[in-house]
């Protein structure tokens, strides 16, 4: 028995003139569809007959089921070589151009954004993550999962420190992400800043390959306190920002008590 399934695949364009007998089998396609659909009211008018190949034709019927606006019932029929009888091949429910369909599946690892992790959440990193490389050498032959686990255990027992460290690719990805982010030169805060972080006394410089481009802000009054910033980033809390003129607060006048206007005490 043919099952009703949903497919996100688009129908192939017509290739040549469809088989006349298969294209004329509209009633056969509708009858087969009625046997598969519980409610006959979900089947609308016949929309098209599309040639899929030699003696293979797909009949499209409008779907009137609630919640399936723009979808199509697709019934594919076929006529065997040197045969006059047309048989039903498959019945599926497919979306049309105006149909609302679910977005493409995105793995959870690609959906995660900074700030999504809550206390207690774990985000495992795969052994073949290109952002990381081992801090030890194990020859030219790749290790299996058990061998890698054993190497990690030995490294921990010997106190060798980190088992893996950033690869060149991982470092470049981080640098590009930081440069394009809120701590880079293109952020609105940096565009309106009077000076760059390069000349700020609150900048803590990094060491290593990123030392020529990045530092950490140590100004507790700044938006970027404790965050990585580029040398050409900036904000209004730069250490050398000065007001053009010093304004002394103006003294307020003494309070005046109105003793002339009569007051209705009961109205309060």
* Burial (Cβ within 10 Å: 0-12, 13-18, ≥19) of residue 124: exposed
Residue 63 phi, psi (nearest 5): -100, 120
- H-helix segments, 39-92: none
**Rounded mean pLDDT, 227-250:** 85
Instruction: Report the 10 Å Cβ neighbour count for 174.
Output: 15
Any idea what DSSP says for residue 118? -
Q: Give the C-alpha separation, 90 to 78, whole Å.
A: 10
pTM listed for this prediction: 0.53
In this structure, of 95-109, 206-220, 241-255, the range with the lowest mean pLDDT score is: 241-255
* 217 within 8 A of 197, measured Cβ to Cβ: yes
Confidence check: pLDDT of 16 > 60:
no
Q: What proportion of the chain, given as a percentage, has pLDDT over 90?
A: 48
- Is the pLDDT assigned to residue 59 strictly greater than 90? yes
For the chain, the domains span: 20-95, 169-230
Average pLDDT, the chain: 83
Residue 13's pLDDT band (cuts 50, 70, 90): very low
CA trace torsion 104, 106, 107, 110 (10° rounding): 170
What pLDDT shows up at residue 263? 67
The pair of three-digit structure tokens given for residue 127, joined into one six-digit string: 């052994």
Which of 256, 192, 190, 258 shows the shortest CA–CA distance to 227?
A: 190
How much is the pLDDT for 160?
61
* Stretch 246-263: mean pLDDT: 76
Could you read off the pLDDT of 144-173 as tens digits, one per residue? 777 777 777 776 666 566 777 889 999 999
Beta bridge mates, 91: 75
186-201 per-position pLDDT tens digit: 999 999 999 999 999 9
| Structural tokens at position 136 | 């030890």
Mind giving me the DSSP string for 186-207? TSHHHHT-SS-GGG-TTEEEP-
Give the ranges where 130-195 is alpha helix by DSSP (H).
145-158, 168-180, 188-191
Question: What's the rounded Cα separation, in Å, for the pair 59 and 50?
Answer: 6
Q: How confident is the model at residue 137 (pLDDT cuts 50, 70, 90)?
A: low
Binned at pLDDT 50, 70 and 90, residue 136 comes out as low
- pLDDT band of 178, cuts 50, 70, 90: very high
pLDDT band (50, 70, 90) for residue 2? very low
Task: For tokens 């006394």, name the residue.
Answer: 201
CA distance 72 to 47: 9
CATH of region 20-95: 3.10.450
Q: What is the pLDDT of residue 83?
A: 85
For residues 36 and 26, what is the distance between their CA atoms, to the nearest angstrom? 16
């Amino acid at each position: 028995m043919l099952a009703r399934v949903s497919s996100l695949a688009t129908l192939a364009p017509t290739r040549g003139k469809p088989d006349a007998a298969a294209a004329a089998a509209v009633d056969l396609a509708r009858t087969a569809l009625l046997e598969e659909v519980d409610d006959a009211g979900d089947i609308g008018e016949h929309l098209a007959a599309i040639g899929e190949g030699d003696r293979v034709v797909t009949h499209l019927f409008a779907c009137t089921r609630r919640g399936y606006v723009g979808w199509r019932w697709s019934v594919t029929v076929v006529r065997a070589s040197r045969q006059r009888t047309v048989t039903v091949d498959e019945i599926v429910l497919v979306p049309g151009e105006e149909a609302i369909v679910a977005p493409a599946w995105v793995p959870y690892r690609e959906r995660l954004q900074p700030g999504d992790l809550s206390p207690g959440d774990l985000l495992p990193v795969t052994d073949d993550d290109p952002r990381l490389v081992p801090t030890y050498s194990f020859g030219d032959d790749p290790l299996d999962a058990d061998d890698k686990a054993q190497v990690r255990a030995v490294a921990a027992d010997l106190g060798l420190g980190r088992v893996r460290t950033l690869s060149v690719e991982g470092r470049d990805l981080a640098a590009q992400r930081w440069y394009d982010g809120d701590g880079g030169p293109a952020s609105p805060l940096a565009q309106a800043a009077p000076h760059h972080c390069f000349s700020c006394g609150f900048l803590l410089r990094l060491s290593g390959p990123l030392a020529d481009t990045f530092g950490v802000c140590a100004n507790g009054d700044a938006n970027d306190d404790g965050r990585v910033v580029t040398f050409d980033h900036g904000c209004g809390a730069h250490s050398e920002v000065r007001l053009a003129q010093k304004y002394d607060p103006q003294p307020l006048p003494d309070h005046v008590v109105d003793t002339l206007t009569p007051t209705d005490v009961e109205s309060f």
